[in-house]
Amino acid sequence: MKVNVQAPNFAADASLLEFIEKRLSKLEQFYDKIVYADVFLKVQKTSEKENKITEVMLSVPGSDLICKKESKTFEAAIDECVQSLGRQLKKRKQKQRAHA
């Protein structure tokens, strides 16, 4: 799976990029037909501590799966997205098996 990371207005360091790829690669155990993942990292200019927004779009045959989470750190938001996308992939696989 190819992972594209976009971080407008700031430069994401190598350890964050490595963390993102490592976490997203775990999704392939649920569904092996993932084509690519687009990750968007944004920082909101607010006084709240939870100002890091992470959006992940997985491209799978048929349609795309999207998850958007907000957290104190990008790592926590990525973990939440991976859990959510894992559930979405499991549901998708179950539906495919039911129709087959």
Q: Which CATH number covers residue 62?
A: 3.30.160.100
Structural domain of 39: 2-99
Q: What angle do CA 54, 96, 91 make, to 5 degrees?
A: 40
Count of the separate structural domains present in the chain: 1
29-55: b (≥16 Cβ within 10 Å) or e: eebeebeebbbebbeeeeeeeeebbbb
pLDDT, tens digit, for every residue of 15-44? 999 999 999 999 999 888 899 999 999 998
88 contacts 65 by C-beta, under 8 angstroms = yes
> Is it the case that residue 98 has pLDDT exceeding 90?
no
Query: Distances in Å between the alpha carbon of 15 and those of 20, 22, 74?
Result: 9, 10, 12
pTM for this prediction: 0.89
Q: Is 49 helix (H, G, I), strand (E, B) or coil?
A: coil
